[in-house]
Structure 1
Amino acid sequence: MQIKDAIFNWLQIQIVWDARPSDRSAKDTATFFEQMLKEDHQVLNLTSTQDKEAACYVVEYEQNGEKQKQMFPKELAEKLLQDILQEPKYN
């Protein structure tokens, strides 16, 4: 899996876990993607913040000793959470 895809997948499930802290599946999946990023791409210190002015999420991390940053549109990043919230069997 390409690093950008893995980071995006981690971000989406992290947003779900943040919104639903008791969701064990979200926690396990976020941990899985974080571990994949560490092992496959040598990513450390992975964090995300929301930039409300730019309507995006900013993911920052270290890779091979260098600080990196990727940005994702808010609407895209929150799509998984919105899909889960709209599905009655998950609520």
Structure 2
Amino acid sequence: MKSLQDALYNWLTIKVVCDARPDDTAAQETRAFFDEMLTNQHHVSNLSITTDAVMYYVTYQQGDETKKVRYPRELIEIMLNQINQEPEKYENYPIEE
């Protein structure tokens, strides 16, 4: 994924799912993938999230710069809303050892 904006959007979307579904192993693995991408490919660190009634705000460090982006809540929460509306389609399959 070449765009930092896309990587941050995908990371935030799956992080919201992970926070709501901490036992969802697929979501946790996907978040780890985007964590690694943000760190290794885009050199992002110190991610923090704040929200208000309309937006999510992501602040992060890239090199010596602190940057901030924002995303509408309706876009970020769409995946979680889909899962909540049709949970039978998103059954958690634990990792078999």
* TM > 0.5: yes
Question: Secondary structure of 2:22's partner?
Answer: coil
CA distance in 2, matches of 1:48, 1:83: 22
Question: Secondary structure of 2:19's partner?
Answer: helix
1:88 shift after superposition: 3.4
CA distance in 2, matches of 1:88, 1:62: 36
RMSD: 1.1
Identity fraction in percent: 46
Gap runs ≥5 in structure 1: none
Larger radius of gyration: 2
1:82 shift after superposition: 0.5
| Runs of 4+ more than 3 Å apart | none
**Quick one: which amino acid aligns to residue 81 of structure 2?**
Q
Gap runs ≥5 in structure 2: 92-97
CA distance in 2, matches of 1:41, 1:30: 15
CA distance in 2, matches of 1:66, 1:27: 28
Size of the aligned set, in residue pairs, is 89
The TM-score normalised by the length of structure 2 is 0.86
The TM-score normalised by the length of structure 1 is 0.91
Between Structure 1 and Structure 2, the one with more helix by share is 1
Instruction: Name the structure 1 match of 2:72.
Output: 73
